[in-house]
């Protein structure tokens, strides 16, 4: 796609001056006055030029196929994203990283859409919330829980790198990406150009590495060898976002991630100095998630 030619206006008193040049060569500008003198650093035109340059570096997104259902769901308390995916022909569905408190919401949605839940899949053993897998298994008999063997958690199906989680003609491909926890998995659906990174890659961030066998070097190595080597236009769907962002792309994170674009040494230093408080629910979440969330939960 050709971007419109952008033209700089040489004024020091206007913002948002960069607008597409028309065929006749005239330009439009927004008249928002500012009083402070502009330095090159703050010069809005330069920022715009950077965006222009980046926009042309992005490849088009891979559209979802017409038989692929995708729904991103959110838990406001833990800022967790849950993903409901389905094959629209067979109606087989999976859910990634469900949250206990949202199990009824998710079961209702699955029912409303006429899907059959095959698997409740976790990217890892969460520390900040209890997984909804166990309760969903009770609400939707026949569904099975899935987590990596390396997580040490109980589940009906334990997976490792290379395993596929099939639903209809679609499948998640599993990649072991330990670092945030030693059992972290990243799931990829190449045909749909999407990657579910759990807490391994967050939008402009990454999972902390200060508990649950966290290891900064492993996280960095796995991201660079197994995630950042995926095509640039694959969409990244993380397990959390704390700033209201919904998705990213491989290219965006390779370009702008403030932690993962650094050298390994700098990255380790950043991770050692995050100074984040422990998740509020860690003491309840970890024992419960070791039991697939089936621990002191309401019985239906």
Ligand X SMILES: N[C@@H](CCC(=O)N[C@@H](CSS)C(=O)NCC(=O)O)C(=O)O
Asked whether position 199 contacts ligand X by CB under 6 A, the answer is: yes
Q: Which residues pair with 33 in a beta bridge?
A: 14
Residue closer to ligand X (CB basis): 104 or 281: 281
Asked whether position 124 contacts ligand X by CB under 6 A, the answer is: no
Q: Which residues pair with 194 in a beta bridge?
A: 189, 235
Q: What does the per-residue mask of binding to ligand X show for 247-286, with x meaning CB under 6 A?
A: ---------------------------x-x--xxx-----
Q: How far is the CB of 232 from ligand X (least distance, A)?
A: 24
Q: How far is the CB of 76 from ligand X (least distance, A)?
A: 12
CB of 22 closer than 8 Å to CB of 37: no
CB of 124 closer than 8 Å to CB of 148: yes
Q: CB under 6 A: which stretch of 3-11, 155-163, 201-209, 221-229 binds ligand X? A: 201-209
Alpha-carbon span 66 to 130, nearest angstrom? 33
CA torsion sign for 95, 99, 101, 102 is negative
Q: Whose CA is closest to 225, among 279, 175, 291?
A: 175
| Binding positions for ligand X, 52-71, rule CB under 6 A | none
Residue closer to ligand X (CB basis): 12 or 76: 76
CB of 31 closer than 8 Å to CB of 48: no
| Residues 6+ away with beta carbon under 8 Å from 192 | 62, 64, 65, 68, 70, 170
Residue closer to ligand X (CB basis): 134 or 207: 207
Q: Whose CA is closest to 243, among 265, 258, 231?
A: 258
Q: How far is the CB of 31 from ligand X (least distance, A)?
A: 40
The count of residues interacting with ligand X (CB under 6 A) is 13
Alpha-carbon span 164 to 189, nearest angstrom? 10
Q: What does the per-residue mask of binding to ligand X show for 158-197, with x meaning CB under 6 A?
A: ----------------------------------------
Per CB under 6 A, the list member of 98, 146, 240, 260 interacting with ligand X is 240
Q: What is the DSSP letter of 276?
A: P
Q: How far is the CB of 284 from ligand X (least distance, A)?
A: 11
Residue closer to ligand X (CB basis): 57 or 273: 273
Question: Which residue matches tokens 């309760």?
Answer: 135
Q: How far is the CB of 6 from ligand X (least distance, A)?
A: 35
Alpha-carbon span 272 to 249, nearest angstrom? 26
Residue closer to ligand X (CB basis): 9 or 274: 274
Residue closer to ligand X (CB basis): 107 or 203: 203
Residue ranges that bind ligand X, judged by CB under 6 A: 78, 127-128, 199, 205, 207-208, 240, 274, 276, 279-281
């Amino acid at each position: 796609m050709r971007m419109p030619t952008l033209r700089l206006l040489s004024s020091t008193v206007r913002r948002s001056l960069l607008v597409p040049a028309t065929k006749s060569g005239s330009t439009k500008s927004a008249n928002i006055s500012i009083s402070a003198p502009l330095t090159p650093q703050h010069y809005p035109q330069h920022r715009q030029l950077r965006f222009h340059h980046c926009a042309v570096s992005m490849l088009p997104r891979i559209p979802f196929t017409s038989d692929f259902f995708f729904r991103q769901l959110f838990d406001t308390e833990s800022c967790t994203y849950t993903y409901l995916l389905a094959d629209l022909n067979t109606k087989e569905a999976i859910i990634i990283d469900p949250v206990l408190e949202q199990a009824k919401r998710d079961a209702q949605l699955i029912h409303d859409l006429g899907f059959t839940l095959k698997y409740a899949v976790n990217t890892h053993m969460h520390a900040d919330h209890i997984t909804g897998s166990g309760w969903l298994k009770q609400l939707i008999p026949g569904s099975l829980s899935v987590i990596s063997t390396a997580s040490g958690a109980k589940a009906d199906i334990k997976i490792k790198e290379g395993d596929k989680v099939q639903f209809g003609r679609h499948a998640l491909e599993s990649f072991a990406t330990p670092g945030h926890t030693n059992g972290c998995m990243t799931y990829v659906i190449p045909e749909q150009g999407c990657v579910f990174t759990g807490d391994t890659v967050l939008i402009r961030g990454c999972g902390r590495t200060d508990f649950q066998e966290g290891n900064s070097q492993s996280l960095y190595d796995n991201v660079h060898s197994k995630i950042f080597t995926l095509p640039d236009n694959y969409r990244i769907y993380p397990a959390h976002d704390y700033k209201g962002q919904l998705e990213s792309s491989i290219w965006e994170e390779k370009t702008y991630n403030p932690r993962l674009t650094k050298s390994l040494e700098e990255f380790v230093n950043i991770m050692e100095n995050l100074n984040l408080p422990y998740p509020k629910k860690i003491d309840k979440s970890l024992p419960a998630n070791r039991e697939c969330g089936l621990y002191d939960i309401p019985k239906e």
